[in-house]
Amino acid sequence: MRYSISDFRRDMRLGQYAWPGGYQRYFIMSDGDCMSFEAARQNVRLILDAIHNHDGSGWRIVATDINYKQDLTCCDTGKPIPASYGVYVES
């Protein structure tokens, strides 16, 4: 199922924390990068246009997920996306 504009609007209304549990959520972009909710709020027009046109500009969101243990960085701001259970390091 393709991620739609209504999916994006719903996710923005729900906010960056999942309920229940308050887990940190983030967006997955078409090129595999991760974007924070902060960056998505700052770039709504670019994101909506990319979703509408199904383009490969890197602004198209394809899903949202919970950051349980990963060390993720926002592709737009360069800031870390906090993990719900601290930083996870594979050995």
**62 closest CA partner among 18, 5, 19:** 5
- Does the reported pTM lie above 0.85? yes
Query: Which tens digit of pLDDT belongs to each residue from 25-83?
Result: 999 999 999 999 999 999 999 999 999 999 988 899 999 999 988 889 999 999 999 88
Contact 58, 74 (CB under 8 A): no
**37 closest CA partner among 83, 74, 88, 72:** 74
